[in-house]
């Protein structure tokens, strides 16, 4: 599935959409950036509550398909500007990380 298809399927808010046609090849969830940096894989949707500029660096390093911020995590203009500069898709939802993981699991494994 593409990022755009996931946005529609999960009713996600778009914070920044650099490439809606990017394929989602898996999902990783985590909030400890040093841990995520070693586990996040190419093409993964990354589910997190982390909202600082370092999430863009980690997503770029792993070449993640998108970041999905959960629990309506607030995000600063500096983070959005960095996402724009690096071409990182950022989405947001009010749902918990658990809820989004379950929903994505059903969609991607259907």
Domains detected in the chain: 3-108 (3.40.1390.20)
Within 8 A by CB and 6+ apart from 43, the residues are: 22, 23, 24, 25, 26, 63, 64, 65
The rounded average pLDDT for each run of 10 residues, N- to C-terminus, in the chain (110 residues) is 97 98 95 95 97 96 97 96 98 98 89
Q: How many CA atoms lie within 13 A of 79 on its CB side?
A: 20
pTM over 0.85: yes
**Contact (Cβ atoms closer than 8 angstroms) between residue 27 and residue 45:** yes
């Amino acid at each position: 599935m593409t990022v755009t298809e996931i946005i529609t399927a999960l009713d996600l808010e778009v914070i920044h959409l650099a490439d809606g046609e990017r394929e989602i090849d898996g999902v990783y969830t985590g909030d400890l950036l040093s841990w995520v940096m070693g586990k996040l894989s190419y093409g993964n949707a990354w589910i997190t509550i982390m909202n600082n500029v370092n999430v863009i660096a980690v997503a770029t390093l792993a070449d993640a398909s998108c970041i999905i911020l959960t629990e309506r995590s607030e995000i600063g203009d500096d983070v959005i500007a960095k996402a724009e500069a690096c071409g990182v898709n950022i989405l947001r939802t009010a749902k918990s990380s658990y809820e989004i993981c379950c929903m994505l699991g059903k969609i991607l494994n259907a």
